[in-house]
Structure 1
């Protein structure tokens, strides 16, 4: 029987998901757990095949014990979250979830996801109505891939075969089972790759792998990548070889499929800042304001498509792309872009950033979506901002520039400066300078709370050329100087 555990903080959501699964899939055994402690206890006692959990349930203090538990039990994961933010995306990536679903939950979306995971588990041999026993022939076994065992006295080589589309793995495994390798291999099918173990000899495994790939391509259009790991000191167990092959396979994120990756050492990722710098934010604001799709293409090419080893950590690249997506989201809100179609496209792009195995495909989809946004704005007259809104948009996107002035806003809006002043006074009840200072102070207050930058740095970043003037304006609008504001907010959050 297929076992599902639903773990959610909201009792209403928990009962709703439980009822949905029980009524739609009566052959499944569905249990629930409310709260983090009960979830971990239930994981250990119930040992589900599928865990549906709310990401925010996992507290940082018990994150380690949760990770250890799921590594032992190895359920498939569906994560639920309220917001499509980079932090939630990073968390989902780290957990290795099969799907990330945004709340409020669509019953159809959840059922489709659960059924797809169940079907893939059956095809991969991870689950059946009668749970199969692991093969017990002499040599290594499935459990050796996931549990540390004594180092092998024999030397061996391991090979990973990964399909670009994981749903094709059963077909790939079937092809492999009937394939005539020149040397004996022991094969295992997993959720993300087929794993082979063979005795290490002077045999040319790379040439053999290339032959296998060529023969596979004659029967299928699905692209594959093959990793060959010969091992090094400290990597003499089946599990360590399995983890090493997974690490080698991560290079396909940059290099693509249809190739053989061979090595006895593992790739080392370059650490990068996943967030846009203030200068990069400014560049992106200009790109979006000017609908500069060619500039965006050039930026993506320079930033992501001409990389060389050591490559940046793929997880950090995904976060960096969600940071860019946040800039796009703000641009969409400025022009009040909404509706089922555009939201569907936005969420599809978000899912692509989370799960696509290839960086070039992510970039291609981002360029396609941005072009779609630009075309929507150009073609829909209802999205045109009135004069006051255009000036406010100008302030929101240029407050950081110390030379911002009413004259520059007038040039941007293509109107007379005196006319703009009268429009702002009538619609907003404030002058251009008052609105500019409010925008700058609002942004500086956010930086005081969320960063460790000095007050001088924050003043400069927010467009104030003089720190004393910044302190004066901040005190007037917030009722206290910036250093006192930061201290009071830090105390309030403790």
Structure 2
């Protein structure tokens, strides 16, 4: 077998060392590794070593050097993995222009690097043995090029599913989940910096049912919401690029309807309803009056009526964000009057400003904003120090008495203590430093510990009595909190005695 060579072209010396270490640790079948920290060194190594694989940091290449790099990559034809810290369309175009087999976005996941390098080396090892016609077919395989360049035609037999986690930190988990999910037809998976795109090459007419199954299976083992956008096989979109752009546009609808949804093309979603994002002088006076009268109910009614009772076509999300900041400007004036624009309340104000700018779901922004306004009014009026204490203590007692109910929710606890779910959750976090989910999970795990050490119940029975509907989720959560699996914990505790 011919020795396989790789050139790692990376400015950061620590990162290049890390990639070299990863190749050795994962036993990736590379015989020789060469390191370059500049474009000049990269070109020299390409000419001298003619490597099978080039790991190339795009950010090190200036616009004037790009043609030089492209010529040498084309001349020596190494399989190329592009890496960038900038998840932009411009970087994607550069990667496509270089004929890259993959584009990775920093910060990098070792698992993804391993998979990408192995895939590229597999292609490199086969390139000399594959007939030219087959090689041409490989070049036609749907890939990132299909998403970003308006080239690959859609003949009506391609389906697209876009999976988007509300929490971006779950993207690596989502990609791993998608790789092992039992799709009826295996899709091409194209992970991006904020989503996973699935392309189905076979005629597929059950994508909606498939997407709901993905959401159900994901939420059975993960606590973070997920949305799926579906573009079924059709002749409306002329290219795969068109399908991808339509899916990204539909993803904006989650701002209004939330996650845990499957979204399909709908005429009502085709355009935004135009609104004036700024408060009129009359609306400004109304907000001043509501704040000065400490009128929580009217503020809540106004916020719900304006922002949570919308019908299609929806307004542009960015204009709604501007409108919310316009309201926040009136709140700022109120804070200055009562000298609350400092310390803890100032920090809370800045958090709300950040929520308005970056939170992906409108009703979450409204909830957080109302909580802030309630606390602001309490601080500027009479406060509720003692009642807050009683509310939290009663809520915790309710959790301790009802943790075994798998249907126990924040809503039920909040109803029991006479507060809104969002307000009770806020007070719980403020006093206990944990969320409702964390409080409930901790209680259930503590009870499970007692059952594991004091009974002969099976793991499934322990999970049920502790309030878990799914034993697999119980095991996962128990290990996260205790660092041991339930069976391991039982044996450990019995050995201690």
Task: Check if 1:308 corresponds to 2:311.
Answer: yes
Count of aligned pairs: 291
Q: Is the 8 A contact 1:163 1:225 kept in 2?
A: yes
2-structure distance, mates of 1:230, 1:127: 32
| Equivalent residue number for residue 342 of structure 1 | 345
Q: Does the CA-based 8 Å contact 2:164-2:196 persist in structure 1?
A: yes
What residue ranges of structure 2 are gaps of 5+ in the alignment? 1-8, 13-36, 39-58, 67-82, 96-104, 124-137, 384-497
Quick one: distance in 2 between partners of 1:355 and 1:330? 23
| 1:174 CA drift (Å) | 0.4
**What is the CA distance between 1:328 and its match in structure 2?**
0.8
Partner of 1:352: 355
Measured at CA, do residues 3 and 125 of structure 1 come closer, stay the same or move farther in structure 2, by a change above 3 Å? farther
**3-state SS, counterpart of residue 203 of structure 2:** coil
* 2:276 aligned counterpart, secondary structure: coil
Distance in 1 between the 2:191 and 2:290 partners? 46
| Kept after mapping to 2: 8 A contact 1:3/1:50 | no
3-state DSSP of counterpart to 1:263: coil
Deviation of residue 355 (structure 1)? 0.9
The residue aligned with 2:242 is 240
Q: Structure 1 unaligned runs (5+)? A: 5-28, 31-39, 53-66, 75-116, 381-494
Of 351, 359, 364, the residue aligned with 1:361 is 364
Alignment partner of 1:270 is 2:273: yes
2:207 to 185, 205, 208: 205
Structure 1 position 230, deviation (Å): 2.6
Partner of 1:490: none
Q: 1:253 to 1:161 in 2, by over 3 A?
A: same
**2: distance between equivalents of 1:162 and 1:118?**
18
> Of the candidates 193, 213, 216, which is equivalent to residue 214 of structure 1?
216
Distance 1:127 1:330, change over 3 A: farther
SS across alignment from 1:158? strand
For 1:286, the equivalent position in structure 2 comes to: 289
SS at match of 1:353: helix
> Which of residues 183, 191, 194 is equivalent to 1:192?
194
Aligned residue number for residue 254 of structure 2: 252
Map 1:453-472 to 2 at 5 A. Answer: none
Residue-by-residue CA offset, 1:392-433 (whole Å, 9 max, x unaligned) = xxxxxxxxxxxxxxxxxxxxxxxxxxxxxxxxxxxxxxxxxx
Equivalent position SS for 2:339: coil
Match of 1:230 among 221, 224, 232: 232
Q: CA deviation at 1:318?
A: 0.6
Cα deviation for residue 43 of structure 1 reads 6.7
Q: Deviation of residue 375 (structure 1)? A: 1.8
Contact in 1 for aligned 2:156/2:235 (Cα 8 Å)? no
Q: What is the deviation of 1:167?
A: 0.8
Deviation per residue, 1:15-53 (Å, 9 max, x gap)? xxxxxxxxxxxxxx99xxxxxxxxx9997469994479x
Deviates more, 1:156-165 or 1:200-209: 200-209
Say if 1:225 and 1:257, in contact at 8 Å, map to a contact too. yes
Tell me how far apart the structure 1 counterparts of residues 353 and 200 of structure 2 sit (CA, whole Å): 40
CA distances 1:69-109 after superposition (whole Å, capped 9, x unpaired):
577569xxxxxxxxxxxxxxxxxxxxxxxxxxxxxxxxxxx
Task: Write the distance in 2 (CA, Å) between the matches of 1:125 and 1:294.
Answer: 50
Shift of 1:147: 2.2
| Alpha-carbon distance, 1:232 to partner | 5.8
Distance across 2 between alignment mates of 1:221 and 1:163: 11
Alpha-carbon distance in 2 for matches of 1:345, 1:46: 47
CA contact (8 A) 1:184 1:198 kept: yes
Change (3 A) 1:300 1:238: same
Provide the C-alpha distance between the structure 2 equivalents of 1:130 and 1:283, rounded to a whole number of angstroms.
61
Q: How far apart, CA to CA, are the structure 2 residues paired with 1:186 and 1:351?
A: 36
TM-score w.r.t. structure 2 length?
0.52
Listed one character per residue, the Cα deviations across residues 237-277 of structure 1 (whole Å, up to 9, x for unaligned) are: 22221111111111111111112112276531111110011
SS of the aligned residue for 2:200 comes to strand
In 2, are the aligned partners of 1:135 and 1:141 still within 8 Å (CA)?
A: no
Cα separation, 2, equivalents of 1:176 and 1:335: 52
Divergent runs of 4+, >6 A: 1-4, 40-43, 126-132
What SS is found at the alignment partner of 1:177? helix
SS in 1 for 2:227: strand
Choose which of 285, 299, 323 in structure 2 pairs with 1:320. 323
